[in-house]
Every structure is written in C-alpha cells, then in structure tokens.
Amino acid sequence: MADALLAVSGLKKHFPIKKGLFSRVVGQVKAVDGVSFEVRQGETLGLVGESGCGKTTTGRCILRLIEPTSGQVRFQGREVTQMGKAELRAMRREMQVVFQDPYSSLNPRLTVGSMLGEALAVHRLAKGAAARERVAELLTLVGLSPDHARRYPHEFSGGQRQRLGIARALAVSPKLIVLDEPVSALDVSIQAQIINLLQDLQSRLGLTYLFVAHDLSVVEHISDRVAVMYLGRIVELADRATLYRDPRHPYTQSLLSAVPIPDPERRKERIVLKGDVPSPARPPAGCRFHPRCFLAEKLGTLARCSAEDPELREVAPGHWVACHFA
C-alpha cells in the first residue's frame, strides 16, 4: 500500500529461556510470532488483546526498544531493523512512545522543564530561550500551564502525568506515536480526557497512532482500524465499524461479547471461553486458538484446526481473518 507510514511484516520476537550455570537456552517464549500489519498515514490502528498476547512487545519491537528476532519493520519506506546507530537515532525523532504507567514513566529527579528540554537537546531542536518557549508551547498543547515547567513529576496527578508523557513524546515532533496502553492506569473520567486530548492532537498535528490497549470500548472510540492479537499473532484485522459489527474470528466474537453494554433492556449472549491462554513458550499446534474455540467444538472439525495453522486471509475487502471457517 502506497500510503502506509509503517509496514510490519512477519515480525517475531522470541525470548530465550535460560537455565543453569552456563545460561543454557532451554526454550523460547514466542511473545510475538509472525505479526504483519500496516499503519496508514494519519490513521489510528488499535491493537487489542489480552495481557501477555504480545501487543506491548510488538510496539517496542517497532521502536527497536527491543530487538526483534526476525521480520521487517518499514517506516516511511526505510527498514528500521537494519538501521545503524546514527540512522536509528535520527529515526527516533519520527517515532515516539507513550507509556502505560504515568508514575514510572517520568524521572522523579528531573523537573518537567528539564525533562522536555532534554528531549529537545538530544536532537538539537532548540536551545536557551527558544527551548523554554518550546517547552511552554508543549505544555499548553497538552492542556497544562507553562508555569508547570518548574515542577517535579510527583507534584502532578496521574492524568496530568500522562499529559506530561504525551508532551515528552511530542517534543521531537514525531510522525508516529506508539501509545502503549496510555489510559489503562487511569480513572475512567480521566481516561476520556486523555482520549479526547489524543484525538485533538492527532487532528491538529496530523499524527499517526498505533494504539495498544486491552479495553475494547476505548479502542472502538479512538481507532480507524483494529487488529486483534492472540498469543503472538494477529487473528483479525478490519476497519472499526466492520470489526465491531461483524466479527468473523471466534476469538474476536468472544471478546466483543464480553464488552458491557450500558442498556439493561438488552440481553445478549455471552461467549465464555474455556481455560486459560496457553503458554507462549509452548503454543498449541495448528490454530493457536483451537483448544479454547467454541466454533471448532460446534463444527466438530477439530482435526483441521489442530493440524493446520490458518493464514491471515482477506475474507472481505480490508477484512482479514485467521480462521479456517471465517
């Protein structure tokens, strides 16, 4: 696709399990195991899944905060995984990240002003008075006061701290921001404020978001397209309306059935999955979802599901599903 800002293909991250005196590798945790997707210029791609499904690792591999085991990450047509030190540093200006925990993501010993000033200094964007002006501008941009530059992180509330995290990411004027569960640690009322801020910034600055989350209603609100991950793989990818109206993958269906609907009159069928997510160190053979799949049970075609790994295929224009029976 021509207008893809970011193209990920076959991305894998396997963490070795080491044991013993000489750190013998006894296995691999396949945190991310062959993930491919594209993020288009100016859109928000939601990446959802349960905890431990590899969505955070995917985000960090894209930024090369974790070195991917294999696969390609192309950002603006350039291969990120092959970049040398200098090139990577330059690339960091274009891609930024906002973290989940607004408490551990800010250095308690730096004032807001020096934290943001440092981000500017690293890429030699502004110095002295110009830097102070830019810091004030950034703080205003995220809904804080320029006056806050002198304060330390502990003087702010959780929501304000998350705004600071966003300001830090914006400091270098990036094109893409990986939002790693940016609202999961916040109160519901604050969540809405941050989401609105993010949407506002996107339209004003023309940002592109990769929005990682586990909360489906939040993702529905902010995303243009949504990718659902299960055990290190993408199982379904479609634009938001399609995915929420017509989920094809049984896992997506069960996830959506669990979203609470604020309407006491409406009753709905809840699909409750059996068992737990299998260990990513020993994923099931065939379709990774088959041991918990209600569809496989209903259809009675377990043989194919446990033998053959379903490809992510396009069942309708722009609607990709990894299931034999979708």
Partner 1 sequence: MTEPVTRIERTPAQLFWRQFQRNPLAVAGLAILLALYGGTLIAPFLAPYAENDIDRTRFYHPPTPLRWIDAEGRFHLQPFVHPTREVTTSRYEEDRSRRLPVQVFVKGAPYRLWGLLPSDRHLYGVAPGERIFLLGADHQGRCVWTRLLFGAQISLTVGLVGIAISFTLGMLLGGVSGYFGGWIDALVMRFVELLLSIPGLYLIVALRGVFPSDLPSHQLYLAIIAILAFIGWAGLARVIRGMVLSIRRAEYVTAAEALGMSRMRIIIRHILPNTLSYVIVAATIAVPGYILGEVFLSFLGVGVQEPYASWGNMLNQARSLASLRYYPWMLFVPGLAIFLTVMAFNFFGDGLRDALDPRKTPGGKG
- Give me the least distance between CB of 279 and partner 1, in Å please: 23
Which of 25/272 has CB closer to partner 1? 25
CA distance 16 to 8: 22
Which of 172/271 has CB closer to partner 1? 172
Binding positions for partner 1, rule: CB under 8 A: 60, 63, 65, 88-90, 92-93, 95-97, 99-101, 104-111, 118-119, 122-123, 132-133, 136, 146-147, 150-152, 154-155, 165, 168, 171-172
Please, are residues 106 and 164 in contact by the beta-carbon 8 Å criterion?
yes
CA distance 309 to 285: 7
Give the distance, in angstroms, between the CA of residue 19 and the centroid of all CA atoms in the same chain: 31
- Give me the least distance between CB of 100 and partner 1, in Å please: 8
Which of 152/325 has CB closer to partner 1? 152
CA distance 57 to 54: 5
- Give me the least distance between CB of 187 and partner 1, in Å please: 20
CA distance 186 to 176: 23
Which of 110/126 has CB closer to partner 1? 110
Please, are residues 136 and 149 in contact by the beta-carbon 8 Å criterion?
yes
Hey, what are 186's tokens?
Answer: 């916040």
Which of 95/216 has CB closer to partner 1? 95
- Give me the least distance between CB of 119 and partner 1, in Å please: 5
Q: In a 10 Å sphere around its CB, with 0-12 CB exposed, 13-18 middle and 19+ buried, how is residue 243 labelled? A: buried
Which of 99/289 has CB closer to partner 1? 99
- Give me the least distance between CB of 118 and partner 1, in Å please: 7
CA distance 209 to 92: 15
- Give me the least distance between CB of 213 and partner 1, in Å please: 16
Q: In a 10 Å sphere around its CB, with 0-12 CB exposed, 13-18 middle and 19+ buried, how is residue 298 labelled? A: exposed
